């Protein structure tokens, strides 16, 4: 009798456990079903809000375009009025012109939160993709990630140049370093274009600077092995090390300066650190000016050396009749390539030097005016 009861109880236990497991599964399914219904409702509301947002974006973009056209016509009308005006009218016209300029700045800030067509460069690289970040948090996160990318790559490039100059004199290692330079500057141009689409006020020479640097790195990458290349190799790598060190110093000092100015409300939240010198860097960063000017004149020295190399008799253009000589010596030197590299360094020097000099001159003039007013 005891054995029978034990057998019955042994069989009944699994059935009871299975029933409890099935009930638990049904309960979990009910909870999942309720959450799913709630998710469907939330997603429906989200789609409705998204459609409303898209309509509002279109309305705002259209209104801004209309306002810009009206301001342009008004500005043109004010320009005509300046020909026949009295002293009282002059004050009114000047006041209106100031307000028009302020309104255009407001439109620029508004458009930073509205989808817009990409520029030619972004269209060629990314296609017609909306790159506008709609929230401040997303904009700041992308800007900070851009700054970290520049810092990390500056350190990597500095160690890469040191490795090529002092440890390995192999063409393959040089090619990797030069390819890294091309990729770095290409990536910077794309990221800066996206930042400009999101309201960052990057402008002037410091935008073009990275395009010119990309071209220069590409020419260095395709420069074939030979005596001319070896003559300039050490000089270029030493210049790369110096440039990376200066950029590393600039990053930390500019970041601190920008943080202080943003806290005071004097700078835009999307302002970036740059390779050059701008007026807002005057306080606390003037000690960097000698290092910047030394780097600029080093670029000029590179240009002069390359012009001299391109004028040498043993630096000739590629010709079919020299094919046997090339096969025998495994190198050739292209005069146009060296000349183009020299011209690119000269363009970099002129752009960097003149822009820095202009900023310093403007800042000194403003300081003189402040002293006179006081």
Task: Give residue limits of the domains in the chain.
Answer: 15-111, 120-373
For residues 66 and 61, what is the distance between their CA atoms, to the nearest angstrom?
Answer: 9
Q: Could you count the other beta carbons within 10 Å of the beta carbon of residue 209?
A: 21
Say yes or no to pLDDT of 2 above 90: no
Mean pLDDT score, 180-208: 85
Say yes or no to pLDDT of 317 above 80: no
Closest CA to 279 of 261, 265, 297: 261
pLDDT for the residue 8: 42
Least confident range of 11-25, 52-66, 298-312: 11-25
Say yes or no to pLDDT of 77 above 70: yes
pLDDT for the residue 287: 74
Closest CA to 295 of 276, 313, 279, 310: 276
For residues 154 and 173, what is the distance between their CA atoms, to the nearest angstrom?
Answer: 18
pLDDT for the residue 90: 75
The percentage of the chain sitting over the pLDDT mark of 70, rounded to a whole number, equals 76
Query: Which residues, 6+ apart, have CB-to-CB distance to 187 below 8 Å?
Result: 149
Model confidence at 358, pLDDT cuts 50, 70, 90, reads confident
Say yes or no to pLDDT of 65 above 60: yes
Mean pLDDT score, 79-87: 67
Closest CA to 110 of 52, 48, 63: 63
∠ CA 251-252-255, nearest 5°, is 80
User: How would you class 202 by CB atoms within 10 Å of its CB: exposed for 0-12, middle for 13-18, buried for 19 or more?
Assistant: middle
């Amino acid at each position: 009798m005891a054995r029978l009861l034990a057998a019955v109880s042994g069989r009944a236990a699994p059935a009871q456990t299975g029933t409890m497991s099935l009930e638990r599964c049904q309960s979990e399914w009910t909870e999942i079903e309720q959450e799913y219904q709630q998710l469907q409702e939330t997603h429906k509301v989200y789609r409705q809000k998204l459609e409303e947002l898209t309509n509002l974006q279109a309305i705002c973009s259209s209104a801004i375009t209309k306002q810009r056209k009206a301001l342009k016509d008004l500005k043109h009308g004010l320009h005509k009025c300046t020909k026949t005006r009295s002293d009282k009218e002059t004050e009114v016209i000047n006041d209106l012109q100031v307000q028009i300029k302020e309104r255009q700045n407001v439109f620029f800030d508004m458009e930073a939160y509205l989808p817009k067509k990409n520029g030619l460069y972004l269209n060629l690289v990314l296609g017609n993709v909306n790159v506008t970040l709609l929230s401040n948090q997303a904009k700041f996160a992308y800007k900070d990630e851009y700054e970290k990318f520049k810092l990390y790559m500056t350190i990597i490039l500095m160690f890469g140049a040191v490795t090529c100059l002092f440890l390995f004199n192999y063409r393959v290692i040089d090619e990797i370093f030069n390819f890294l330079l091309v990729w770095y500057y290409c990536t910077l141009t794309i990221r800066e274009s996206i930042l400009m689409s999101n309201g960052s006020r990057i402008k002037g020479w410091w935008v073009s600077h990275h395009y010119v640097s990309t071209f220069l790195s590409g020419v260095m990458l395709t420069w074939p092995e030979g005596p001319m290349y070896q003559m300039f190799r050490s000089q270029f790598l030493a210049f790369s090390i110096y440039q990376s060190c200066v950029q590393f110093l600039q990053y930390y000092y500019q970041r601190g300066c920008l943080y202080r100015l943003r806290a005071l409300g004097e700078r835009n939240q999307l302002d970036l650190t740059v390779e050059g010198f701008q007026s807002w860097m005057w306080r606390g960063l003037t000690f960097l000016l000698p290092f910047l000017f030394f780097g600029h004149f080093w670029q000029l020295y590179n240009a002069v050396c390359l012009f001299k190399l391109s004028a040498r008799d043993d630096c000739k253009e590629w010709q079919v009749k020299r094919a046997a000589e090339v096969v025998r010596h495994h190198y050739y030197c292209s005069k146009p390539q060296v000349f183009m590299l020299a011209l690119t360094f000269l363009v970099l020097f002129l752009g960097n030097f003149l822009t820095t000099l202009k900023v310093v001159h403007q800042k000194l003039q403003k300081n003189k005016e402040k002293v006179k007013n006081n």
